[in-house]
Amino acid sequence: FFLIYAFTIHKRIVRFFSFFYLFVLLMVVNYSPIIWLFTKLPLLNYLRGAGRWMFLGGFLSALLVAFGFDTFLERADSHLRTKLLNGFMWLAGIVSGTILIAKILIIFWGDTILQWFHGYFDSYIYLSRPHLQPLQFYHDLINRYYTQVATLFDPLSPYVFFPVLSLCLAAILLFRYARGISSRYFFIRAAILLSVFNFVTVFLPFHPTFSRPLADYIPSTAVFLQKNPGLSFSVFPGNAQADFFRPYQDDINGRVLFFYEALQPNTNQRFSVSSLGYYDNLMNRRMAHLAGYLGNEKSVLKFPILHDSKVLSKDKIALVESRKWLMDLLGIKYLVSVFPLNEKQFPKVFTST
């Protein structure tokens, strides 16, 4: 609320930060014309990692919230202020009501809705064109997405209850202060406590942490490469490895172990292992082009087949194998792969489970 309210302030310094904030938002939007322009300008075209602009966006939003909060304390009544306040109250009510109604529908008609999705996919999508996977694979995928969406409307889930509770408490607090029911002294302290409560109850559940023993774990792949020095490269063509870590989608410890053993780009730095597979938000265009050509999933430059989600993993691996000449030119000694490779071209020297 205070962030949006800051955009109604006419002070020059606030206007500057407001427009700067909008610029940052445009910088992080996929296919933004500003990003395209940056890739054409000298010097700037060597910079990568537009998503890192969100760090600056977080700083700017904090400044704008502070300006909005300070101005709101003045209780200067205006038509726009009243409309924003009423809109925020409606938002809290609509979100709460939608969650309750959706939960009731899921409880009584959830199975019927899921069967309808299965039937619609079977009749109008699966039969309309050839698919790469058997029908049950897509049914499991639909079930998974349906469960994820249903969880968003579960008021008993901490992922839903605490954010909605914070939203409703904020709406009540703003309303009472704007109507003169609460004092300035009470409003400031209640707002601080609510911010702390929201941070603790929302930030922690949405940022899971892996177990403490994993912090000291050294994968067997890294141990082998430490004992047998040489430039390595992890084969991750266009996120094809997702087929392997999908079973760990809800298990952060399993995902971390998988990424450790497979030496996902940048993981090698933690274990002092030399690797060509890395990602840096200041990666230059030539390096991004080279990484993408070898199938690096994190490369901002995408290539046909390698980064096409509709292409089978085996076809992506075959294309990577055909570029062995480039790997030899770069001095790559070891390939780390969760996929079976042609052992005549790439003799197997180590296996990790």
Tell whether the model's pLDDT for residue 267 goes beyond 60: yes
- Identify the weakest region by mean pLDDT among 71-85, 108-122, 123-137, 336-350: 123-137
Residue pair 224/350 in contact by the 8 Å Cβ criterion: yes
53-72 and 12-27 helices cross at what angle (nearest 10)? 150
Percent of the chain scored above 90 by pLDDT? 14
Strands (E), the chain: 232-234, 334-336
Q: Yes or no: say if 12 and 71 are a contact pair by the CB < 8 Å rule.
A: no
- Helices (H) and strands (E) counted in the chain, each on its own, are 16, 2
pLDDT (mean) for 212-236:
85
pTM above 0.75, yes or no: no
Q: What is the mean pLDDT of residues 139-143?
A: 86
> Residue 299: which of 315, 277, 331, 332 has the closest Cα?
277
Amino acid 115: pLDDT: 92
Q: What is the pLDDT of residue 130?
A: 67
Mean pLDDT on 83-104 = 90
- Is the pLDDT assigned to residue 155 strictly greater than 80? yes
pLDDT tens, 165-206?
999 999 999 888 888 888 888 999 999 999 999 888 887 777
Structure tokens at 200: 């603790």
Mean pLDDT of 319-338: 86
Does position 322 have pLDDT exceeding 70, yes or no? Answer: yes
Torsions phi, psi for 325 (to 5 deg): -60, -35
pLDDT at 193: 94
Q: Residue 52's pLDDT is what?
A: 65
Burial state string for 142-163 with b = 16 or more CB within 10 A and e = fewer than 16: eeeebeeebeebeeeeeebebb
Average pLDDT estimate for 86-115: 91
* Predicted pLDDT at 51: 61
Residue-wise pLDDT for 11-55, tens only, equals 899 899 999 888 888 877 766 677 667 767 776 665 555 666 777
| 335: nearest Cα among 284, 294, 288, 279 | 294
Q: Is 318 exposed, middle or buried (0-12, 13-18, 19+ CB in 10 A)?
A: middle
Confidence of residue 76 (pLDDT cuts 50, 70, 90): low
In this structure, of 20-29, 33-42, 87-96, 97-106, the range with the lowest mean pLDDT score is 33-42
Residue that wins the pLDDT comparison between 90 and 244: 90
Q: Is residue 63 very low, low, confident or very high in pLDDT (cuts 50, 70, 90)?
A: very high
Instruction: Work out the angle at residue 309's Cα, subtended by the Cα atoms of residues 306 and 312, and round it to the nearest 5 degrees.
Output: 70
Mean pLDDT of 335-353: 83
The mean pLDDT value for 218-243 works out to: 78
Classify 11 as helix, strand or coil: coil
- In which element (H, E) is residue 90 found? helix 79-120
